[in-house]
């Protein structure tokens, strides 16, 4: 729905509602206004029906529009319900589809025959959804927490010779932010091409001074979906949650850590910060580069030629594969990450290890977890005791009773704030990235995940997970069911906002 049409409909709703209820007008005018009001409401509902959303969501919005029409319409507009398939990302979606049809091929490998049929099926789905192939000529290394991640990132930035591409949801002008910004400025001043995309909503604490310093040094800086004034600005609900770095086509980074002091455990409220990042090398860097270039062309309005940035150093064939999947409103299929999480869970034979800070699963994922547990799969869910949001904390906890009833082991991480996004299946294949198990990550945000097949890094992920369980407490179903009415009320209230968290 175009923005001017949204504005007209909003004005019509207010005016007709006022006239219908006002006693200063004649009955004819009141009745006519009421009829126009009803026609307007039902025309909005009709346009909603044409979107072919899920019956549950469609009915929910119909109820909202019927019973709280003006306020409901405002929420409807700001939720972006009419924009996911609308004009906002149409050009980006078209460019994505064009790139998918003209993809390069990775070096063939006999290692494909060494992975399980379930892993092959998952890989085929990723390939079908994104045309990103699995690479057996790439290396993944697990980086645990902020100290290890930032020291590695700074070391690689210092060694850059040609270009550095960065894309972040959050980058701040604090201690670690300034350290990295200073490094980037230094490299740019010495002739290295540096490009940065940051999300407007996530990086509100990136100061204008820092931006000017980077631009003065020669860094190209662009904001993803700037937050503009205007009552009908729907962009607020679509955020770029990706964390990507590509350096010289030699090394790439992806994972859960943004750039800010809290990721080093320096936030006194959250304390210790538990997170996981990946360093990648080899031909899989090309798929990270594709994602960055598509986002760069979108935010800058320029065309960054792929070929110039697609040279990667060959890595000898190794045991295990790496595959990248970007997801978001520009994806050819809605809810790609949700579908792949579902496929991961349903393919499990022995164990499922899940760590996520925000657990607000859709019906499909809840069903998959229930069926896995019923089949005898050992399912463990790890979420933080401390959270950075009241709504996300209690919305997450509102699903604990259901998970416990399924026989799933639920753990609460107590050492600090757990922010990693991790699923490990049968200790053989896994995903690490930016996508949480919540409706925002699965349907609204721009995300990116790495999928690992039989790599040595999976052993590290499993070992770290078991260590994290030592810093957690297992939730007892009997004790949890006896939690007080106040806690239950908080959970029920927070769950009402599940679709927008």
Catalytic residues: 241, 243, 248, 419, 421, 426
User: What whole-number distance in Å separates Cα of residue 484 and Cα of residue 486?
Assistant: 5
User: What whole-number distance in Å separates Cα of residue 410 and Cα of residue 381?
Assistant: 5
Strand partners, 152: none
116-154: string of b/e by CB count within 10 Å (b at 16+)?
bebbeebbebbeebbbbbbbbbbbbbbbbbbebbbebbe
Residue 90 CB partners (closer than 8 Å, separation 6+): none
Strand order in the sheet with 220-224: 138-144, 276-282, 251-255, 243-247, 163-168, 193-199, 220-224
Question: For residue 28, what is the enclosing H or E element?
Answer: helix 27-50
- Which pair of structure tokens corresponds to residue 286? 């090309």
Cα–Cα distance list, 483 to 224, 391, 409, 487 (Å): 42, 18, 18, 7
- Which pair of structure tokens corresponds to residue 278? 């990946």
Name the residue with tokens 């604490």.
205
Residue 486 CB partners (closer than 8 Å, separation 6+): none
User: What whole-number distance in Å separates Cα of residue 379 and Cα of residue 361?
Assistant: 15
Strand partners, 433: 449
Whether 449 contacts 369, CB under 8 Å: no
User: What whole-number distance in Å separates Cα of residue 152 and Cα of residue 134?
Assistant: 25
- Which pair of structure tokens corresponds to residue 385? 């005791």
By the 10 Å C-beta count (0-12 exposed, 13-18 middle, 19+ buried), 182 is classed as: middle
Residue 282 CB partners (closer than 8 Å, separation 6+): 135, 137, 138, 139, 312, 313, 314, 315, 322
User: What whole-number distance in Å separates Cα of residue 98 and Cα of residue 127?
Assistant: 15
| 289-294 contact pairs (CB < 8 A, 24+) | 289/165, 289/246, 289/249, 289/252, 290/99, 290/132, 291/167, 291/242, 291/244, 291/324, 291/326, 291/448, 292/165, 292/167, 292/197, 292/244, 292/246, 294/92, 294/95, 294/96, 294/99, 294/330
């Amino acid at each position: 729905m175009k923005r001017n049409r949204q504005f007209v409909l909003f004005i019509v709703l207010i005016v007709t509602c006022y006239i219908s209820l006002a006693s200063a007008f004649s009955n004819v005018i009141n009745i006519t206004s009421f009829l126009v009001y009803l026609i307007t409401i039902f025309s909005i509902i009709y346009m909603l029906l044409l979107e072919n959303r899920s019956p549950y969501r469609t009915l929910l919005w119909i109820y909202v529009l019927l019973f709280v029409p003006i306020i409901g319409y405002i929420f409807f507009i700001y939720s972006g319900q009419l924009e996911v398939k609308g004009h906002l990302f149409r050009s980006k979606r078209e460019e994505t589809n064009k790139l998918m049809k003209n993809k390069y091929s990775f070096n063939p490998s006999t290692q494909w025959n060494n992975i399980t049929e379930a892993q092959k099926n998952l890989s085929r789905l990723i390939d079908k959804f994104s045309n990103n192939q699995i690479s057996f000529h790439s290396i993944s290394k697990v980086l645990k927490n902020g100290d290890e991640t930032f020291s590695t990132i700074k070391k690689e930035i210092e060694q850059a010779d040609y270009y550095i591409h960065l894309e972040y949801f959050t980058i701040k002008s604090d201690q670690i932010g300034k350290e990295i910004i200073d490094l980037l400025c230094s490299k740019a001043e010495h002739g290295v091409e540096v490009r940065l995309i940051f999300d407007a909503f996530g990086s509100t604490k990136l100061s204008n001074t820092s931006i000017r310093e980077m631009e003065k040094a020669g860094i190209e800086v662009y904001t993803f979906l700037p937050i503009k004034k205007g009552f009908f600005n729907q962009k607020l609900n679509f955020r770029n949650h990706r964390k990507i770095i590509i350096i010289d086509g030699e090394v790439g980074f992806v994972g859960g850590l943004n750039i800010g002091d809290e990721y080093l455990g320096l936030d006194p409220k959250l304390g210790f910060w538990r997170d996981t990042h990946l360093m990648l090398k080899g031909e899989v860097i090309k798929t990270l580069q594709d994602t960055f270039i598509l986002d760069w062309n979108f935010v800058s309005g320029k065309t960054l030629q792929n070929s110039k940035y697609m040279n990667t150093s060959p890595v000898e064939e190794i045991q295990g594969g790496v595959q990248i999947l970007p997801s978001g409103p520009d994806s050819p299929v809605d809810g790609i990450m949700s579908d792949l999480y579902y496929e991961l869970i349903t393919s499990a034979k022995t164990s499922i290890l899940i760590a996520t800070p925000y657990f607000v699963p859709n019906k499909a994922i809840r069903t998959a977890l229930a069926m896995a547990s019923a089949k005898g799969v050992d399912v463990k869910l790890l979420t933080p005791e401390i959270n950075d949001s009241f709504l996300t904390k209690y919305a997450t906890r509102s699903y604990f009773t259901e998970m416990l009833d399924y026989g799933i082991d639920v753990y609460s991480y107590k050492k600090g704030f757990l922010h990693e996004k991790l699923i490990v299946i049968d200790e053989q294949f896994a995903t690490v990235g930016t996508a949480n198990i919540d409706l925002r990550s699965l349907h609204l945000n721009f995300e990116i995940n790495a999928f690992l097949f039989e790599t040595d890094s999976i052993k590290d992920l499993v070992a770290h997970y078991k260590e994290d369980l030592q810093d957690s407490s297992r939730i007892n179903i009997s004790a949890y069911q006896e939690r007080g009415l106040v806690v239950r009320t908080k959970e029920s209230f927070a769950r009402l906002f599940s679709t927008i968290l």
